[in-house]
Amino acid sequence: MKLSEAKAVITGGASGLGFATAQRIIDAGGQVVLLDINDELGGDSAAQLGERASYINTDVANEESVQAAMQQAKATMGGITLAVNCAGVANAGRALGREGPWPSANFNRVIQINLVGTFNVTKEAAAIMNENEPAEDGERGVIVSTASIAAFEGQIGQAAYAASKGGVHAMMLPLAREFAAFGIRVNTIAPGIMLTPMMAGMTQEVQDSLAAQVPFPQRLGHPDEYARTVQYIYETTYVNSETIRCDGAIRMQAK
């Protein structure tokens, strides 16, 4: 697989890690469809990327929305060879907070978007990839999902987020084993503390404090470092069913 020939769908593609990945694909010569729920930002981001990019409003937690978006993306690009799951929320709350137990509805929302949303996109992308003509080595497509270091070292207040990202990591192997028969690889990236728009909105003091916790390099991660990891996975056929940490060797403490 060459990034220059990629036909990619990217959830959460209007900003942050998703947009950085889209930019790298476009720069390489590929095509991208951004799937997001922010229409204004999605349209602006697609326009910024140029004529080989487009935007489709997509709620990853809604199966019908995902199905419609994937079919539209397929028609737009003439197929799909790469799906990157970046859409997610990071709602935090203690299970037993000052106001009492955390509502299960909050927990369910995180699971529905981060985990079920990833599954929705993965299965629909795989169905379309299975229609591709196989490459010389039999490969038809690649799926890259986004977990988090919280999947392994979830902090206090991250029960829902850690559970959702742990689920993304855990379902990778059975999906990779299943899709092997179709020539579709499934991998996951577990980012550390990345300089996304959400992080950029925090004070410099907070950013510096978080960066100081990273062993090396002692800074926040750049979104393009995530995007380069996607490229490595896409172009390296023998990488399958792997979760790659992109975190500067940080290991999160309890709080």
Give the contacts of 104 (CB within 8 A, at least 6 positions apart): none
Is 161 tagged catalytic?
yes
pLDDT of residue 166: 98
Query: Distance (Å, rounded) from C-alpha 67 to C-alpha 48?
Result: 26
Among the listed residues 161, 226, 234, 238, the single catalytic one is: 161
pLDDT of residue 115: 98
pLDDT of residue 203: 87
pLDDT of residue 219: 95
Residue numbers in the chain where pLDDT is lower than 70: none
Judged by phi (left if over 0) then psi (alpha if -120 to 50, else beta), residue 29 lies in left
Q: Considering only the top CATH level, what class is 3-246?
A: alpha beta
pLDDT of residue 197: 82
Residue with tokens 């991660």: 221
Residue with tokens 């229609």: 131
Whether the CB-CB separation of 146 and 191 falls below 8 Å is answered with yes
Q: 177, 157, 2: which is closest to 82 by C-alpha?
A: 2
User: Mapping DSSP to helix (H, G, I), strand (E, B) and coil, where does residue 7 land?
Assistant: strand
pLDDT of residue 206: 84
Whether the CB-CB separation of 183 and 156 falls below 8 Å is answered with no
pLDDT of residue 209: 87
Please give the order of strands across the beta sheet that includes 7-11: 53-57, 31-36, 7-11, 82-85, 141-146, 184-191, 243-246
Query: Distance (Å, rounded) from C-alpha 57 to C-alpha 96?
Result: 36
